[in-house]
Amino acid sequence: MIVDIELTRRADGYYVARALHIPNMVIEAESRDAALEQMRATLVSRRQAGVELVQLDIGDEGETVPATWPRHAGTFPDDEAYREMLDEVERQRHVLDQNAAA
């Protein structure tokens, strides 16, 4: 299981780790490593206690489901082949739009 953690260093030098999708899951520690290790231990303990994180599709018609790809957006900003691929996708969309309008 992968859990997204927001890690912040406070002005007093302490680190605060927050599990982004788990309300009230906040750890404070004197070091970055300690904060992450305490977060890991807390999450493992919850899992061993039978707590699960699951995604549930309720199948509502017409309701949009957020895309999972945004975390990868901008991954290849300096990749010329990627830029060419995006240009080709845009060109093909333009052609399809023109054909649909005709």
* Tens digits of residue pLDDT in 66-86: 767 666 666 677 778 878 888
How is residue 10 written in tokens? 């406070």
pTM of the model: 0.54
Residue 69: per-residue pLDDT? 66
**Which element (helix H / strand E) includes 83?**
helix 80-101
Higher pLDDT: 68 or 30? It is 30
Residue 22: per-residue pLDDT? 87
Taking all residues of the chain, what is their mean pLDDT, rounded to a whole number?
A: 85
Distance between CA atoms of residues 86 and 73, nearest Å: 12
50 DSSP assignment: T
Residue bearing tokens 């489901």: 65
Of the chain, the percentage scoring pLDDT greater than 70 comes to 85
> In Å, how far are 50, 65, 95 from 41, measured between CA atoms?
14, 32, 54
